[in-house]
Amino acid sequence: MEFSSARHVAATLAVAEPGGLPFYAAQAGEVALFEHAFHQRLPLLIKGPTGCGKTRFVEHMAARLGRPLVTVSCHDDLSAADLVGRHLIGDGNTVWNDGPLTRAVRSGAICYLDEVVEARKDTTVVLHPLADDRRVLPIERTGELLVAPPGFMLVISYNPGYQNLLKSLKPSTRQRFVALTFGYPAAAVERRIVESEAGVSAEVAAQLVQLAEALRRLTDHDLEETVSTRLLVMAARLVASGLSLATACRAAIVDALTDDADTAAALAEVVAAVIPD
């Protein structure tokens, strides 16, 4: 039994709005794959760089399938108890408090564990029985064994770019999931996303996507990550709100990507070449 009531798990419960799906521009067949996995009650692993649309895709699919969505952003202190739940003391009584994974199983929701490799290793103990044919969640501390209803689906994501040997998905975990690999969207799709998410003109969207293509080709700099669709949308929103394209790119792209002065200068050169002041 644990008596900590202070621990907080970053989790959001988003219920699909009737009629209004979150905007998602599909890349290639991922919508059909998700639907098949859902109907076959198979868990899904989505791999891809940060800001390429993984979360938006899951939000869109949950709404499309009419399922509530429980999202958990995993971090290195996230334990099995954070996911499953714990006993808390309130008014002198000890009460059981469901964690986000348990809530998702009970309500037949889609449970999305973002950056799952960050979580503590003990989380695999609860994820494995949910991710194979058993589809059960054993709650050790209450002795309950929850059987996941048909509407429940486990979706996990991680960014293979961040991987190091200590933080990779164990083969025994990986092999329980159907996998989907995301990259940045093709140029035409990315232009449509930037236009629609930020409300900028087709011309501004085209310039930003052209810049992204040039920056993504840079390989000889010490960049951990390159420019994501998310950063393009942020730059476009600054433009929509009245900043010049060059200033927006400096703030939302160059300075967001690096702290290193030499790398920033190299990125700024690419920006200046594609987007004149």
Question: Which residues contribute to the site for ligand ADP (CB under 6 A)?
Answer: 23-25, 48, 50-56, 185, 193, 197, 229-230, 233
**Residue with Cβ nearer ligand ADP (84 or 154):** 154
Calculate the CA dihedral of residues 201, 203, 208, 214 and round it to 10 degrees. Answer: 170
**Residue with Cβ nearer ligand ADP (186 or 265):** 186
**Residue with Cβ nearer ligand ADP (24 or 38):** 24
Question: Closest separation between CB of residue 214 and ligand ADP, Å?
Answer: 19
**Residue with Cβ nearer ligand ADP (53 or 68):** 53
- Does an H or E element contain 103, and which? helix 100-107
Question: Closest separation between CB of residue 244 and ligand ADP, Å?
Answer: 22
Residue type, position 11, single letter: A
Question: Helix 124-131 and helix 100-107: axis angle, to 10°?
Answer: 20
- Bridge partner list, 14: 69
Q: Which residue is nearest to ligand ADP (CB)?
A: 53
Question: Closest separation between CB of residue 94 and ligand ADP, Å?
Answer: 37
What are the angstrom distances between the C-alpha of 222 and each of 226, 229, 259, 260? Answer: 10, 20, 10, 9
Per-residue DSSP letter, 141: T
What are the angstrom distances between the C-alpha of 160 and each of 21, 32, 61, 214? Answer: 28, 23, 23, 22
**Using an 8 Å Cβ cutoff, are 248 and 210 in contact?**
no
Question: Closest separation between CB of residue 138 and ligand ADP, Å?
Answer: 29
Question: Closest separation between CB of residue 105 and ligand ADP, Å?
Answer: 23
**Residue with Cβ nearer ligand ADP (81 or 249):** 249
**Residue with Cβ nearer ligand ADP (24 or 81):** 24
**Using an 8 Å Cβ cutoff, are 85 and 31 in contact?**
no
Other Cβ atoms within 10 Å of 3 Cβ, number: 10
Question: Closest separation between CB of residue 115 and ligand ADP, Å?
Answer: 9
- Does an H or E element contain 111, and which? strand 110-114
